[in-house]
Amino acid sequence: MGLELYLDLLSQPSRAVYIFAKKNGIPFQTRTVDILKGQHMSEQFSQVNCLNKVPVLKDGSFVLTESPSSMIPSTAILIYLSSKYQVADHWYPADLQARAQVHEYLGWHADNIRGTFGVLLWTKVLGPLIGVQVPQEKVERNRDRMVLVLQQLEDKFLRDRAFLVGQQVTLADLMSLEELMQPVALGYNLFEGRPQLTAWRERVEAFLGAELCQEAHSTILSILGQAAKKMLPVPPPEVHASMQLRIARIP
């Protein structure tokens, strides 16, 4: 059997992997794992990843998984795909210094972007689905944190460049776009008043293509409306404890 990707496009790292594979013409079979329905906790999926997380890459007998402690879960998968399928060099440059800059960014991303920009999904959608409210002081603290991190993103990485680590798109740009899309889809326009960051987003989306972006983002872009109309499935009781723990860990 060929390459299989276990994904839920509600998940930022899943979207990054999906977009990368599609953009680069990498043949794969999508194995949808609906997190809201608790499919990641099923016995069937546990045989693929006993840690019960997506995304997962399965290439024959070789498996790459996300672990609960991983802050940049899709990076290993993206690097594997970049290397195996010999995609364009700009994604993950062979040049030592350029590659080091990608790693520098991904390390910063793990500590600052990942985990910060997903909080609104828990606040507006996931928490209410299981009857849990995120305290307002945490919501406000998170918004202040987003403002600070965005400024650092512009000052340290973007600066006067077209993309985050140079003049071409890399894995860094793809990872960031998917994280930053989450609050935007939930009504928080973090690009407002940031022309430099807005121009970066437009360049990345133009490179990826409007059709692919729309396809990958359709789930997250519709989630708030579905929640308002009570169209989302209520997660089964067996996943409530892990969801509550994640909400409790919001700073």
The string of pLDDT tens digits covering residues 75-116 is 899 999 999 998 999 999 999 999 999 999 998 998 899 889
Examine residue 55 and say whether the peptide bond preceding it is cis (omega within 30 degrees of 0). yes
What is the Cα–Cα distance from 113 to 68, expressed in whole angstroms?
Answer: 17
What is the Cα–Cα distance from 98 to 205, expressed in whole angstroms?
Answer: 22
For β-strands 56-59 and 3-7, DSSP reports them as antiparallel
| φ, ψ (nearest 5 deg) of residue 222 | -100, -5
What is the Cα–Cα distance from 86 to 80, expressed in whole angstroms?
Answer: 10
pTM of the model: 0.95
Per-residue DSSP letter, 183: H
DSSP characters over 7-67: E-TTSHHHHHHHHHHHHTT---EEEE--TTTTGGGSHHHHTT-TT--S-EEEETTEEEE--
Pick the CATH number of 96-248 from 3.40.50.620, 1.10.1380.10, 1.20.1050.10, 3.40.50.300: 1.20.1050.10
Write out the two tokens for 217. Answer: 């983002």
Averaged pLDDT, 209-220? 96
What is the Cα–Cα distance from 56 to 11, expressed in whole angstroms?
Answer: 12
- Is-same-fold flag (3-84; 96-248)? no
pLDDT at position 231 over 60: yes
pLDDT digits 0-9 by tens, 29-84 = 999 999 999 999 999 999 998 888 899 999 999 999 865 444 455 889 999 999 99
Answer for the pair 46, 244: CB distance below 8 angstroms, yes or no. no
Give the pLDDT confidence score for residue 70 in this predicted structure. 46
Residues 6+ apart with CB under 8 A from 147: none
Write out the two tokens for 75. Answer: 């990076």
Give the pLDDT confidence score for residue 61 in this predicted structure. 93
What is the Cα–Cα distance from 179 to 201, expressed in whole angstroms?
Answer: 12
- What CATH class is the domain 3-84? alpha beta
Domain coordinates of the chain in residue numbers?
Answer: 3-84, 96-248
Closest CA to 177 of 82, 100, 113: 113
Q: Pinpoint the alpha helices (H) of the chain.
A: 12-23, 43-46, 75-84, 96-112, 119-121, 127-129, 136-152, 171-185, 195-208, 210-228, 240-248
Cα-atom radius of gyration of the chain, to the nearest Å?
Answer: 18
